[in-house]
Structure 1
Amino acid sequence: MKNAPSYFKAKFSAIGCCIFFMAFFALPNLAAAQTRGKVEVVKDPLIDTLMARRASLNKNNLTGEETASGYRVQIFFGSSRQAAYSAQAKFNQDYPELKTYIIYNEPNFKVRAGDFRTRLEAEKLQKEIAGMFTSLFIIPEKINIPKTDTTND
C-alpha cells in the first residue's frame, strides 16, 4: 500500500507536465496562427506587356486583317500536294481577284477559295466553277474581311 500513493503521485505529475507544456508552448503558437498577414506578389513587368500584346492579337490576326464568320468554297481535297497546288493554280488563273488557301491536315490537303460573308455569295461561285472541279463544298469558317474602297470614283 505504500506504493499506491506514489503511483498516483507520479501519474499526476506526468499529466501536470503535459498541461504545463501545452499552456506555455502549444497555446501561444495556436494563437499566433490566427493573425492575418500580407501577401506580396512579385512579377516580371514583361508579363503586363505580353498580356497587352495578346489582347491586341486577339483583335487582329497576325497579318493585320480583320476576321469574321463567313464561308469559303472548297475546290480540292486529297493527299497529293502537287494536285493541290495545281488546283490552286487552275483556280487562280480564272479568278485572280479571289484569294485561295491551302490547308494541310495530315494526310490530306484542302484548297479553299474566297472570303464570302453570305452563303449565297459562296453558292454563286460554286455554280460558276461546277464544271472545273469535281467535288465542291461550302465551308463555314473564319474569313478575312475584304478591305472596302473608300475613294469616290
Structure 2
Amino acid sequence: MRILSRKNLIFISFLTAFSYANLSAQNAEITINQDQKIPMLLDLKTEMSEDNKIGDRYKIQLFYGDNNEASEVFKEYENKYSYPAMIDYETPNYKVYVGNFRNRLEADRALLQIKENFPGAFIPKPKRR
C-alpha cells in the first residue's frame, strides 16, 4: 500500500510549483515618478484649509456689533461650546462666527444646540471664493 498515489503526488508538486511562482511574483518593486510640484501643492492646500480660504463652508453668525460686545459674546461662547469661533471685522462692525462646516446639515445640527444660549444665531449664505 502506497502512502501517496501518483495523482496525489502530481497534485502536490503542481501546488508547490504554483505557490512558489506566486510568491516570487509578489516580490516586485514599484517605482513612482511624480512631479516635484505635488508636495508643494499639498502643503499649500493644507495651509489654505487651516486658514478657511478654501471652498464654500457654512458658518454660524452669533453677533454683529461693536468690538467690546463681540469680545464678550466670544468669551461666553467659548465657555459653553467646543466648535471653533472667530471674530471678523467688517467695516464698521465686528461679527462673531462659529464653525467651518462642510455642509448645511452639519451647520443646522450645531445651530440647534447653539440657539439654546444664543437665540439670535443664524447661518448666513456662504460666500464663493
How would you bin the TM-score normalised by the shorter chain? 0.5 to 0.7
- The residue that corresponds to 2:98 in the other structure is 113
The superposition leaves residues 85-117 of structure 1 with CA deviations (integer Å, 9 ceiling, x where unpaired) of 111111111113x21121111111100000101
Question: Size of the alignment, in residue pairs?
Answer: 83
Q: Distance in 2 between matches of 1:141 and 1:125?
A: 19
**Structure 1 stretches of 5 or more lacking a match?**
1-51, 143-153
Does the 8 A contact of 1:92 with 1:100 survive in 2? yes
- Deviations 1:22-73, CA, capped at 9 Å, x for gaps: xxxxxxxxxxxxxxxxxxxxxxxxxxxxxx9xx96xx548xx1422211000
Among candidates 100, 103, 109, match of residue 85 of structure 2: 100
Match of 2:107 in 1: 122
Structure 1 SS opposite 2:89 = strand
What is the alpha-carbon distance in structure 2 between the residues aligned to residue 141 and residue 132 of structure 1?
26
Structure number with larger C-alpha Rg: 1
SS of residue paired to 2:64: strand
Q: What is the aligned partner in structure 1 of residue 57 from structure 2?
A: 70
Query: Is 1:132 aligned to 2:117, yes or no?
Result: yes
TM-score for both structures, normalised by structure 2: 0.55
Equivalent-residue separation in structure 1 for 2:115 and 2:57 (angstroms)? 21
TM (norm. structure 1) is: 0.47
Identity between Structure 1 and Structure 2 (%): 29
Secondary structure, aligned partner of 1:87: helix
